[in-house]
């Protein structure tokens, strides 16, 4: 899976960072998922290699403007383009009312299927929010000034690699039979031989897992959701020196994000949702936040707009108990 950061600032955009939005390219299909949709997100799409027409699911963490003000415009533009196959939208209870008001008062309409799913029940009961043949999504409640949710996407294990040389050595004819063997099925050949497909496939290949966590102070629920994930995208609005302000405003510092990553045993941590006060030339810069986090969790990266990350399975997948 490929993650693209479309907005990495908190509160307001800056010259180099737009407000929150992260896109996920779903593997093996022409489909995009979006996490949060701050103001100007559709413009970020235009500046990227992403195709808005492929957008199929949007996950909103909470109702603060820097995470949702771009949503009505993006959905309206998608309707005007006329090439959407439909959008499934997930988020807090207030999301439907917000969009209904925006569309009604702007006399806007969407010419495609738009379904809104409330995530509160799934978060509180630890139910699966969404599942298909390849992917599974869960969520959990965070600790913020308004109801906020983190999301986890798990790619299901993939079948082991097919041993083509073994099949050829046994003179098994190619075609639909190979497909059945790849699925691990037992088949009977025309000459009467019974072949067990499991003998032709290697061990299952693990899928990858991604967690998107913003806005919150340090949260045990976030640690639980992120256990063993390959990639944790976590807000780092403040530096460690401003921990008191972070606690008051229910946001994370760089070290809180790193603590979450360390306790969850994730593969890689990416810091995002940085306060606009941290720019080059000021007393504290984004690189300072990165270094603070690395002292706790060395495998930490700093997000920037249009950064692409290809997510790969980490070694020691089950090292967290």
- Residues annotated as catalytic (active site), given as ranges: 66
Instruction: Please state, as a whole number, how many other Cβ atoms lie within 10 Å of the Cβ of residue 45.
Output: 24
Say how far apart CA 174 and CA 211 lie, in whole Å. 40
Say how far apart CA 15 and CA 217 lie, in whole Å. 27
Say how far apart CA 8 and CA 290 lie, in whole Å. 14
Q: Which among 17, 115, 3 is positioned nearest to 50, based on CA atoms? A: 3
Say how far apart CA 18 and CA 22 lie, in whole Å. 11
Q: Which among 157, 155, 156, 166 is positioned nearest to 198, based on CA atoms? A: 166
């Amino acid at each position: 899976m490929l993650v693209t950061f479309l907005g990495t600032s908190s509160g307001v955009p800056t010259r180099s960072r737009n407000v929150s939005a992260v896109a996920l390219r779903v593997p093996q299909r022409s489909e995009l998922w979006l996490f949060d949709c701050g103001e100007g997100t559709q413009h970020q799409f235009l500046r990227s290699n992403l195709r808005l027409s492929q957008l199929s699911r949007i996950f909103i963490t909470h109702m603060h403007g820097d995470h949702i003000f771009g949503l009505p415009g993006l959905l309206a533009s998608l309707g005007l383009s006329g090439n959407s196959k439909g959008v499934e939208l997930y988020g807090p209870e207030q999301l439907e009312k917000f969009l209904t008001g925006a569309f009604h008062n702007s006399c806007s309409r969407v010419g495609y299927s738009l379904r809104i799913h409330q995530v509160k029940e799934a978060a509180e009961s630890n139910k699966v929010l969404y599942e298909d043949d390849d992917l599974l999504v869960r969520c959990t409640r965070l600790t913020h000034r308004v109801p906020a949710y983190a999301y986890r996407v798990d790619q299901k294990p993939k079948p082991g690699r097919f041993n083509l040389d073994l099949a050829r050595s046994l003179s098994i004819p190619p075609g639909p039979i190979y497909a059945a063997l790849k699925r691990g099925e037992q088949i009977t050949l025309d000459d009467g031989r019974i072949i067990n497909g499991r003998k032709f496939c290697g061990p299952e290949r693990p899928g990858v897992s991604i967690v998107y966590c913003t806005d919150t102070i340090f949260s045990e629920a976030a640690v639980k959701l992120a256990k063993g994930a390959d990639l944790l995208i976590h807000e780092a609005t403040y530096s460690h020196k401003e921990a008191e302000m972070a606690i008051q405003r229910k946001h994370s510092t760089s070290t809180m994000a790193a603590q979450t990553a360390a306790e969850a045993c994730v593969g890689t941590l990416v810091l995002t949702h940085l306060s606009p006060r941290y720019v080059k030339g000021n007393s504290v810069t984004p690189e300072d936040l990165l270094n603070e986090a690395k002292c706790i969790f060395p495998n930490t990266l700093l997000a920037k707009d249009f950064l692409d990350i290809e997510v790969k399975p980490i070694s020691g997948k089950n090292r967290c108990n």
